[in-house]
Amino acid sequence: ILRKKIAVLAGDGIGPEVCHEAIKVLDAVAERFGHRFTYDYQLMGACAIDATGDPLPESTLAACRAADAILLGAIGDPKYDNNPAAKVRPEQGLLRLRKELGLYANIRPVTAYDILLPHSPLKADRIRGADMLIYRELTGGIYFGEKGRTENGAFDHCTYTRPEITRITHLAFQSAQNRRKKLTLVDKANVLETSRLWREVVQELAPAYPDVAVDYLFVDNAAMQLILNPKQFDVMLTENMFGDILSDEASVIAGSLGLLPSASVGDKAALFEPIHGSYPQAKGKSIANPIATILSVAMMLEHFGLQEAANVVKEAVQDALVQNVLTPELNATSPSTTEQVGTHIAQCV
Amino acid sequence: ILRKKIAVLAGDGIGPEVCHEAIKVLDAVAERFGHRFTYDYQLMGACAIDATGDPLPESTLAACRAADAILLGAIGDPKYDNNPAAKVRPEQGLLRLRKELGLYANIRPVTAYDILLPHSPLKADRIRGADMLIYRELTGGIYFGEKGRTENGAFDHCTYTRPEITRITHLAFQSAQNRRKKLTLVDKANVLETSRLWREVVQELAPAYPDVAVDYLFVDNAAMQLILNPKQFDVMLTENMFGDILSDEASVIAGSLGLLPSASVGDKAALFEPIHGSYPQAKGKSIANPIATILSVAMMLEHFGLQEAANVVKEAVQDALVQNVLTPELNATSPSTTEQVGTHIAQCV
Ligand SMILES: CC(C)[C@H](C(=O)O)[C@@H](O)C(=O)O
Ligand SMILES: CC(C)[C@H](C(=O)O)[C@@H](O)C(=O)O
């Protein structure tokens, strides 16, 4: 019997709805396997700005530090997006949280589910069997460099240090060793100095993983290859900004952004969140797909060492797919609500 | 009768082969319409490094300044790519040329050709009718900011000034006015200060183009939307790095990178090049698709004000598509050579 405390940052938009279903599934796991999960609900994002003026209140940060894992729904509100002058933004909360907790590796699995092939914009034969893991560096690069205005312009500085690159590169190599033993570094080494440093570090570490084949792709080419031939990828390693773009792009392989989970890990903390955003247009309509969040919870269970429980959750999700108990973007003719999908999956656990 | 001097930078890999065919087509245009095009062949890229040590020799730059337009094949050689310590690189030649000539707007049309729908990795109903123009800023951003090494790391600075954003934004708005009257700015304004400046400038200029509908997408979302629903885009405007990634990604809509032309224009010069690279594996095999370069030449003719000649070239390309006179990536069963495709198109002119 395992006891775990989970900080829940449900966030904005559809965040609370999808978290609610994921927790339903966690509770089902606890009951089936006799574990004990407790939840500490905290504010982050636009909801935290509205309540406290701060997208990441100190109390939230403290709760996250004290927790065994963090579950995040989604953050973001359009009222901040088209206001370039806004001083406080929901995203700052998430970025600060990643940085404060040292969540340097964002891991995003992308799988083509056979049963959803008809939903992908890509032809079935291109994606059938695609199964990759994107390792996106999450606490460095242009996201966290100095930024500001000059008299007549603006700047954002992209920086990377060797240790920042080294630690995630080791994780990516280790992960490749447990999979199909292929690592692809995506960079823009023909233009960027930081990319050349990435390439250097990966080349230096490669001999320590002789069973892993390494290749290198420029990011423009990678954006194309992801669509042309996604099956070529096993583990993809890349810096923060490129990873943001490529992992959202790769979601088309799965057939819906609503299916893609992620884990953000550091040496002392781990956060689990769907890769989709707060989808404000869907808020309160019970049409948001909770599966990405539920699969994030499966990643959390793996992180706890509960591999069997994780597998049970993944199989329960598979059941919802097979039974077509799905939200409208995947089942337009007889859609289930967010709640119904969550309940179905929890009952399968 | 028009006289034009064209600087030809055939470059590396397949560059010379595809330029050869494009010039064949230009000559056919000259003959049919009674114009006179002369060609000034110059070195740039890896071939220029090999010959002179400099990827952009002064003589090449001078010839480009003296020309009415520049035709570029492709540059790049893998021997420089995996050598992070290389001090001189082919790409530096291209980047310096863009900067020296002030080629600040890179225009990349992306069209789904009906006849090639089966070749796209995307399902036909998603892309049929897609037709967009990507305006990529080409002389600013992280490509041209300060870059270098620190004791333990590396940096690349991304900067933009208001005038840099303003001039290309006007071009993009004007282009949208002549099309379907929709402009989409792609940025990462929820994270980057430069993106917030882009958003500010576009918001400020929008009232001067009241007939154009403007919307804003974050780059991660745009990378997904390009594949999910490419028909939503008319003119897409974005900064240098994002434009590099998104335009290569968008090539999957056309069905082959070998079809996509581009124009890079400034206030005093214009350069035309296929968006594909030097494809060194194909060099000398006569399998490279010359159509992207031939369509770049059609853009050059438009730039010269020769709209009728440009249309004739585009129709000749269409004829090659319809007759299936195509290189192996588009016609695996009875492929034509690079030369044969060029000759067919020239004869149709
Ligand atoms: C909300 C935003 C700051 C964030 C990012 O860009 O990292 C999101 O797109 C993500 O991928 O988690
Ligand atoms: C060769 C490289 C420097 C170049 C770029 O990134 O601009 C190329 O990818 C392009 O898009 O023209």
The shortest CB-CB distance from A162 to any of B89, B152, B194 is to: B152
Residue A142 covered by a domain: yes
Residue A96 covered by a domain: yes
Confidence of residue A83 (pLDDT cuts 50, 70, 90): confident
Instruction: State which residue of chain B sits closest to A251, comparing Cα positions.
Output: B224
Q: What is the pLDDT of residue A84?
A: 67
Q: Nearest to residue A287, comparing CAs of A333, A339, A346, A343? A: A339
Catalytic residues of A: 143, 188, 220, 244, 248
Q: Express each pLDDT in B219-240 by its tens digit.
A: 999 999 999 999 999 999 999 9
Residue A199 to residue B158, Cβ atoms within 8 A: no
> Which residues of A are less than 8 Å from B226 in CB distance?
249
Residue B84 pLDDT more than 70?
Answer: no
Task: Let me know whether A125 and A226 are in one domain.
Answer: yes
B220 catalytic, yes or no? yes
Q: Of the candidates B236, B259, B282, which is a domain's last residue?
A: B259
Residue A34 covered by a domain: yes
Residue B199 to residue A84, Cβ atoms within 8 A: yes
* Beta-carbon contacts of residue A281 (< 8 Å; ≥ 6 apart): none
What is the average pLDDT across B115-131? 93
Nearest atom in ligand 2 to the alpha carbon of residue A220 is 9
Strands (E), chain A: 3-11, 36-41, 69-74, 105-111, 131-137, 147-149, 153-161, 182-187, 213-218, 235-238, 261-265, 270-274
Ligand 1 lined by B190 (C-beta under 6 Å): yes
B244 catalytic, yes or no? yes
Q: Of the candidates B206, B233, B259, which is a domain's last residue?
A: B259
Count H helices and E strands in chain A, helices first. Answer: 13, 12
Q: What token pair was written down for B247?
A: 């335009």
Q: Express each pLDDT in B200-212 by its tens digit.
A: 999 999 999 999 9
Task: Let me know whether A41 and A117 are in one domain.
Answer: no
In whole angstroms, what is the distance from residue B99 CA to residue A161 CA?
29
Residue B155 to residue A153, Cβ atoms within 8 A: no
Task: Let me know whether B236 and B329 are in one domain.
Answer: no
Task: Let me know whether B109 and B156 are in one domain.
Answer: yes
Q: Structure pTM?
A: 0.95
Point out the ligand nearest to the CA of residue A136. Answer: 1
Residue A76 phi/psi, 5° resolution? Answer: 130, 140
Q: Which of A195-209, B50-64, B84-98 has the lowest mean pLDDT?
A: B84-98
Task: Let me know whether A96 and A126 are in one domain.
Answer: no
B50 catalytic, yes or no? no
Task: Let me know whether B228 and B248 are in one domain.
Answer: yes
Residue A157 to residue B162, Cβ atoms within 8 A: no
**B interface mutation test: which of A142, A166, A186, A246 has the most B CBs within 10 A?**
A142
Task: Let me know whether A98 and A122 are in one domain.
Answer: no
B24 catalytic, yes or no? no
Residue B256 pLDDT more than 90?
Answer: no
Q: What is the pLDDT of residue A87?
A: 83
Task: Let me know whether B250 and B300 are in one domain.
Answer: no
Residue B122 to residue A227, Cβ atoms within 8 A: yes
Residue B159 pLDDT more than 80?
Answer: yes
Instruction: State which residue of chain A sits closest to B143, comparing Cα positions.
Output: A191
Q: Express each pLDDT in B260-308 by its tens digit.
A: 999 999 999 999 999 999 999 999 999 999 999 999 999 999 999 999 9
CATH of residue A120: 3.40.50
Task: Let me know whether B133 and B187 are in one domain.
Answer: yes
- CA–CA min distance B254, chain A (Å): 12
Confidence of residue A149 (pLDDT cuts 50, 70, 90): very high
Nearest atom in ligand 1 to the alpha carbon of residue A240 is 7
**B interface mutation test: which of A108, A155, A185, A240 has the most B CBs within 10 A?**
A155
Task: Let me know whether B210 and B277 are in one domain.
Answer: no
Residue A245 covered by a domain: no
The shortest CB-CB distance from A155 to any of B84, B91, B158 is to: B158
CATH of residue B81: 3.40.718.10
Q: DSSP label at A121?
A: S
Q: Are A21 and A52 in contact (CB under 8 A)?
A: no
Per residue, the 3-state secondary structure of chain B, as one string, reads: CCEEEEEEEEECCCHHHHHHHHHHHHHHHHHHHCCEEEEEECCCCHHHHHHHCCCCCHHHHHHHHHCCEEEEEECCCHHHHCCCCCCCCHHHHHHHHHHHHCCCEEEEEEECCHHHHHHCCECHHHHCCCEEEEEEECCCHHHCCCEEECCCEEEEEEEEEHHHHHHHHHHHHHHHHCCCCEEEEEECCCCCHHHHHHHHHHHHHHHHCCCCEEEEEEHHHHHHHHHHCHHHCCEEEECHHHHHHHHHHHHHHHCCHHHCEEEEECCCCEEEEECCCCCHHHCCCCCCCCHHHHHHHHHHHHHCCCHHHHHHHHHHHHHHHHHCCCCCCCCCCCCCCHHHHHHHHHHHC
Q: Is A114 helix (H, G, I), strand (E, B) or coil?
A: helix
In whole angstroms, what is the distance from residue B176 CA to residue B170 CA?
10
Q: What is the pLDDT of residue B336?
A: 98
Task: Let me know whether A60 and A167 are in one domain.
Answer: no
The domain total for chain B is 2
Domain span including residue B141: 105-259
What is the average pLDDT across A99-105? 97
Q: What is the pLDDT of residue B255?
A: 84
Binding site as annotated, residues of B: 98, 108, 136, 220, 244, 248
| Set B244, B283, B314, B319: catalytic member | B244
Q: Of the candidates B228, B259, B290, which is a domain's last residue?
A: B259
First to last CA, chain B: 17
- Side by side, the strands of the sheet bearing B153-161 are A147-149, A153-161, B153-161, B147-149
- A5 forms beta bridges with A38
Task: Let me know whether B228 and B299 are in one domain.
Answer: no
In whole angstroms, what is the distance from residue A197 CA to residue A140 CA?
13
Q: What token pair was written down for A282?
A: 């869907």
- CA–CA min distance A168, chain B (Å): 15
Q: Which of A227-241, B107-121, B314-328 has the lowest mean pLDDT?
A: B107-121
